[in-house]
Amino acid sequence: MERRDFLKTMAITGAAASSSTALFSGNAEAAGTLDIGEVKSVKIDVLSETSWFSNDNLKKSMLDYGGASTNQYTIPWDADNAGGYSSLITVTTLDGKDHKILMDSGWSNTWMDYVYEMHGIPRMLRNGEIEFMVLTHWHLDHYWGIESTLKHNPKIKIYAPATHYPEDMALLRDKAHHKATDKEGKQVPICKNDVPHTGELVLCSTEGEKGEGVYKPLPGMAIKLFDVPILLRVRGENVLYFNVKDKGIVTVTGCCHPGILSLFSEARRTFKDYKPYGCYGGLHLTLFETWDPKFDDVIRGVKSFGLQKVACNHCTGWLWAEKAAEAGIPIVKGTDKYKSYKRQSAVAKATNVFLTNGDTVVF
């Protein structure tokens, strides 16, 4: 209705508004037809959502070396500030069988080795219990810790965005040791991988497998690539959708660069009998704990979808999560388990509106 009000307002001051109305009423809400099946439940263990420990430190590196559009491989990042983003997803299919998926591999190998040990990930990788890995996107904090995963299972099947750069592929396959030049002209090591990936690599494109726009590694699960431009010269993000029986669609993201409402909207356009139920992941909103009126738009938009569970962390920003909770969005609260990790994010707060390190959510 508000859209119509907008058009009516325009009509007062400009002719031809009525003829444009037909054009504005697009088919954004057209229902999808793709049936991906169902799963019984989805459990997500947050291995680490702390991609870096200090926002100020990270921002300073970006600011000093060209800003948000700079190539991430040209910035001499502070290794001591590096953490990583990674989650373990356990999907229970309708036959009662559990399937484990690793989502992302973090940034610092030191941090990721520590986090993986805490959660028994090395063993699960070695014995094949983790069936495959989904790389959501090629950002440093999701990908540069790839050695921590591959050294336990270099043959693991990986779903990754097809929108990669040569440096990305060199790190995955060619034992690359990337360095960046600092202001003094010194070469600073920024990431490395001595264990090349030898397993199947599924490069996800927007066409998907069979031209359906998605990849379906398990019944009830779909991976969809959103080919969007992202800061630090990265492109494209894989998003995971699960259709949980009797509940609805659960959207799982790494950073949600395409925008959470866009993910919901795409699901509505794509999946048969779309019913939103929940979401998990970084929502890429008040990333650096700063506000903008467009974040108010997102709160209003998310509310309109009527989700039952919103579990967020990482680049969502505590500020947005707190305001969203105040506005009545069903934010899944975290616990104090993150304090058992040897390091914590500088922005973690007692409000626990983040599902943070060591926490679990079940959909």
Q: Which residues bind other proteins (CB under 8 A)?
A: 2-3, 5-6, 9-10, 13-17, 20, 23-29, 56, 59-60, 62-63, 65-71, 74, 227-231, 233-235, 258-262, 265, 288-294, 296-302, 304, 319
With b for 16 or more beta-carbon neighbours within 10 A and e for fewer, the 35-71 pattern comes to ebebbbbbebbbbbbbbbbebeebeebbeebeeeebe
Which residue lies nearer to other proteins by CB, 222 or 232? 232
- Number of other residues whose CB lies within 10 A of the CB of residue 30: 9
**In the bound complex, what is the minimum distance in angstroms from residue 184's beta carbon to other proteins?**
17
Contact present, 151 and 195 (Cβ < 8 Å): yes
Indicate the SS3 state at residue 201. Answer: strand
In whole angstroms, how close is the CB of 246 to other proteins at the nearest point?
27
Kindly give, in sequence order, each residue whose CB lies less than 8 Å from that of residue 303, ignoring residues fewer than 6 positions away: 327, 328, 329
Q: Name which of 120, 114, 133 is nearest 48 in CA terms.
A: 114
Please compute, for residue 345, the number of CA atoms within 13 A of its CA located in the half-sphere on the CB side. 30
Which tokens hold the place of 214?
A: 């998605």
- For the CB of residue 170, give the shortest distance to other proteins in the complex, in Å: 19
Distance, in Å, from the CA atom of 332 to the CA atom of 325, rounded to the nearest integer, reads 9
Q: In the 8-state DSSP scheme, what is residue 270?
A: H
Cβ proximity to other proteins: between 172 and 232 the closer is 232
Cβ proximity to other proteins: between 34 and 195 the closer is: 34
Contact 307, 334 (CB under 8 A): no
User: Least separation, in Å, of the C-beta of 213 and other proteins?
Assistant: 15
Nearer to other proteins, 70 or 92 (CB): 70
Comparing CB distances to other proteins, the nearer of 145 and 317 is 317
Distance CA 318, CA 353 (A): 7
Alpha-carbon span 96 to 117, nearest angstrom: 27
Element (H, E) at 297: helix 293-305
CB of 18 to other proteins, least distance (A): 11
Q: Which is nearer to other proteins, 329 or 355 (CB)?
A: 329
CB of 69 to other proteins, least distance (A): 4
CB of 258 to other proteins, least distance (A): 6
Nearer to other proteins, 116 or 318 (CB): 318
